[in-house]
Amino acid sequence: MGTLTEEIFSRRLGRDVHAGEIVVAPVDYAMAHDVTGPLAIEAFRHLEVPLWDPERVILVFDHILPANTVASAGLHKVVRDFATEYGVTHVFQEGICHQLMVEKGFIRPGGIVVGADSHSTTYGALGCFAAGFGSTDIAVTFATGRTWFRVPETIRINLRGALPPGIFPKDLALQVIRRLGAEGANYLAVEWGGEAVEAMSVDERLTLANLTVDFGGKAGLCEPDEQTRIYLGDAEVADLHPVAPEYRSVVEVDAQTLEPQIACPPAIDNVQDLSTVEGTQLDEVFVGSCANGRIEDLAIVAGYFEGRQVHPRTRTIVVPASKQIYMEALARGYIQTFMEAGALVMNAGCGPCLGRQHGVLGPGERALSTSNRNYAGRMGSPQAEIYLANPAVAAVSALAGAITDPRGFN
Amino acid sequence: MARIFKFGDGISTDAIIPGRYNVTTDATALGKACFIEARPDFAASVQPGDVIVGGRNFGCGSSREHAPLSIKGAGISCIVAESFARIFYRNAINIGLPVIQCDAIYNAIEDGDPISIDIHSGGIGVNGKMFQGETPGPVAVAIMEAGTLIDLIKTRGWAAIEEVS
């Protein structure tokens, strides 16, 4: 009985669990990456115990890949040495941790997964309870296979109607953030539902779940359904639904009347209709990240770039979220399209999102990004400005050199 | 006496310590880069024991534990804010940096005001007035009593948390 979150915890613990309870629960997997890993490893070593399960610890190099300074190389080595010493089997350097967690089959509906990265909420798209933690919490999970949770209450968000042309899950998420504010779901779980979500592919749902943390959400879940079964290639996906749920609140969003939404600097909840900022000149466009670096996103951008050139003032950087996506994009000809259009295509990973590689912003520069963070200094200089938008807006804005509406673009 | 460093709403972990300064796990070294761009004089001006008072959603954004570590490493003894982002709050408690949620204090103080805090009771004294911070949850109390989450789990295991749940 209860919300998706309460259902998952109840099944996992074999008793009725309700929001507000503090529980110590086993997890399926614990993930850390090249930035959060070294602190987690240091804390784990202080515990002086064996690793819980070398096959359930996931280590990913993605934030700085390959290492671009002596200092980051040293931190990478801390993670590699730990993996070797403890026989960790799942060590990856082929894309963003969150994309790999989903692609490599670690995420199952009804599961509980923790990651030392805030965007671990992404896995909720498959009906898994997944939350981000800091390194010390993850260290304790590395040692014990468990962590503690205050089982959260839930905000139900119903996305109504069909998405019109030029409107994507990113716009729906930004509209929700606009309405609820940057801490609107702090300490709460979010359920994403309604016809628009039911009609979405898993790739699209991953965008919603990903952005859940950017308005404070602890987890962002979609009900597993036929799309989930197709994605996982498994007809045996467990039935999991909210059962007589009591929600903290219910939010209704009409997808059909939405304009493209832009998160303007310097905060995720400074969201405007595109028309408000149309024509703003851009020095950089970044297509990628755990929010919008998947094959469907690249397909949208390639569709606009075909036979065109990006604007000379706008350096355009494309970073597929994983090697698998990169290779699929190669097979479909998208990479050639990007390069012929004048974009730079970087190796799979986090790209310039966190301002440490692949296109750092200088003082006074202005970027539009398909990623999920626009804090001052996020992508480089604190005097740079970051606008966040959907992949179609990113594509046409790169071509025009300024923020442009994809609807009616030709 | 401890002094207040006052910050606004929505202070992100990117503002606390930008990503490119997360190049070490050493708290003292991280402390030198604390607020390096948002308030460049911060690290050099903090005296051990000083206090940060923030607005809403303090510590939002990335889960990087470098953020509370850098604040602790800079010498700050406690953060009082109107509200904290969930991961930051948990990280701060886990590493032994006291954090207190308190709505009433923000508009009653200025940058540089002297402040005294009783971490255990959540009592805050500033400008001749007393404020009461919110009582932390039982797990946070257990961790604070042990020092850090690592200290708690190492000495008592999950039983320490199961018994307060």
Residue B165 has a pLDDT of: 83
Contact A142, A44 (CB under 8 A): yes
Q: Share the mean pLDDT of chain A.
A: 97
Q: What is the DSSP string of A300-317?
A: HHHHHHTT----TTSEEE
In this prediction the pTM is 0.97
Contact B105, B53 (CB under 8 A): yes
- DSSP structure class, residue B58: B
Reported as a single tens digit per residue, the pLDDT across A79-115 is 999 999 999 999 999 999 999 999 999 999 999 999 9
Q: Hey, are the CB atoms on B85 and A186 less than 8 Å from each other?
A: yes
Reported as a single tens digit per residue, the pLDDT across A145-157 is 999 999 999 999 9
Contact A264, A376 (CB under 8 A): no
Residues A249 and A269 in one domain: no
Q: Which of A47, A132, A376 shows the shortest C-beta gap to B153?
A: A47
Placement of tokens 């390959």 in the chain? A66
Contact A179, A273 (CB under 8 A): no
Q: Which of A137, A144, A182 shows the shortest C-beta gap to B94?
A: A137
Low-confidence ranges of chain B (pLDDT < 50): none
Residues B34 and B84 in one domain: yes
Residues B126 and B142 in one domain: no
Q: Which of B15, B63, B164 shows the shortest C-beta gap to A118?
A: B63
Alpha-carbon span A72 to A35, nearest angstrom:
9
Give the number of domains in chain A.
Answer: 2
Tokens representing A33 are: 């990456």
Domain span at residue A285 reads 261-400
Residues B163 and B86 in one domain: no
Nearest 5 degrees, angle CA A174-CA A155-CA A230? Answer: 75
Q: Which of B68, B87, B161 shows the shortest C-beta gap to A118?
A: B87
Which residues of B fall within a CB distance of 8 Å from A148?
139, 158, 161, 165
Q: Is position A407 within any domain?
A: no
Alpha-carbon span A361 to A194, nearest angstrom:
38
Q: Hey, are the CB atoms on B139 and A382 less than 8 Å from each other?
A: no
Residues B141 and B125 in one domain: no
Q: What is the torsion angle, in degrees rounded to the nearest 10, for the CA atoms of residue A376, residue A378, residue A383 and residue A384? A: -110
For testing the chain A interface, which of B23, B30, B42, B82 should be mutated: the one with the most A CBs within 10 Å?
B23
Residues B72 and B148 in one domain: no
For testing the chain A interface, which of B16, B34, B87, B89 should be mutated: the one with the most A CBs within 10 Å?
B87
Q: Does B50 touch chain A (CB under 8 A)?
A: no
Looking at chain A, the whole-number percentage of residues with pLDDT higher than 70 is 100
Nearest CA in chain B to A119: B62
- DSSP structure class, residue A207: H
Reported as a single tens digit per residue, the pLDDT across A320-376 is 999 999 999 999 999 999 999 999 999 999 999 999 999 999 999 999 999 999 999
Q: Does B96 touch chain A (CB under 8 A)?
A: no
Q: Which of B20, B25, B149 shows the shortest C-beta gap to A355?
A: B20
Contact A392, A304 (CB under 8 A): yes
Q: What is the mean pLDDT of residues A31-40?
A: 98
Closest-CA residue to A391 (of A313, A319, A309, A308) = A319
For B43, residues 6+ apart whose C-beta sits below 8 A from its C-beta are B31, B32, B33, B34, B35, B36, B74
Which residues of B fall within a CB distance of 8 Å from A27?
none
Looking at chain A, the whole-number percentage of residues with pLDDT higher than 90 is 97
Alpha-carbon span A199 to A196, nearest angstrom:
5
Domain span at residue B165 reads 136-165
Residue A235 has pLDDT above 90, yes or no: no
Nearest 5 degrees, angle CA A225-CA A391-CA A282? Answer: 160
Residue A236 has pLDDT above 80, yes or no: no
What ranges make up the beta strands (E) of A97-239? 112-115, 129-132, 146-150, 154-160, 189-193, 219-221
Whether ipTM tops 0.90, in short, is yes
Residues B151 and B114 in one domain: no
Closest-CA residue to A76 (of A92, A87, A90) = A92
Reported as a single tens digit per residue, the pLDDT across A246-280 is 999 999 999 999 999 999 999 999 999 999 999 99
Residue A1 has a pLDDT of: 87
Beta bridge partners, A387, equal: A368
Residue A234 has a pLDDT of: 79
Residues A218 and A275 in one domain: no
Reported as a single tens digit per residue, the pLDDT across A112-171 is 999 999 999 999 999 999 999 999 999 999 999 999 999 999 999 999 999 999 999 999
Contact A182, B60 (CB under 8 A): yes
Nearest CA in chain B to A23: B165
Nearest CA in chain B to A70: B23
Beta bridge partners, A192, equal: A157
Q: Hey, are the CB atoms on B19 and A355 less than 8 Å from each other?
A: yes
Residue A408 has pLDDT above 90, yes or no: no
Residues B145 and B82 in one domain: no
Residues B129 and B140 in one domain: no
Q: How far is CA A210 from the centre of its chain?
A: 4
Residues B34 and B103 in one domain: yes
Contact A196, A162 (CB under 8 A): yes
Q: Hey, are the CB atoms on B149 and A135 less than 8 Å from each other?
A: no
Decide which of A254, A277, A298 is a domain's last residue. A254
Which residues of A fall within a CB distance of 8 Å from B150?
43, 46-47, 136, 139-140
Q: What is the mean pLDDT of residues A195-202?
A: 97
CATH number of the domain to which A319 belongs: 3.30.499.10
Which residues of A fall within a CB distance of 8 Å from B19?
35, 63, 354-356, 378
Q: Does B77 touch chain A (CB under 8 A)?
A: no
Q: What is the DSSP string of A219-253?
A: EEE----HHHHHHHT-TTPPP---BS---SEEEEE
Under the banding of pLDDT at 50, 70 and 90, the label for residue A60 is: very high
Contact B20, A355 (CB under 8 A): yes
Which residues of B fall within a CB distance of 8 Å from A24?
158, 161-162, 165
What ranges make up the beta strands (E) of A279-381? 284-288, 315-319, 344-345, 366-369
Which residues of A fall within a CB distance of 8 Å from B139?
22, 148, 150
Closest-CA residue to A147 (of B138, B84, B60, B153) = B153
Q: Hey, are the CB atoms on A38 and B66 less than 8 Å from each other?
A: no
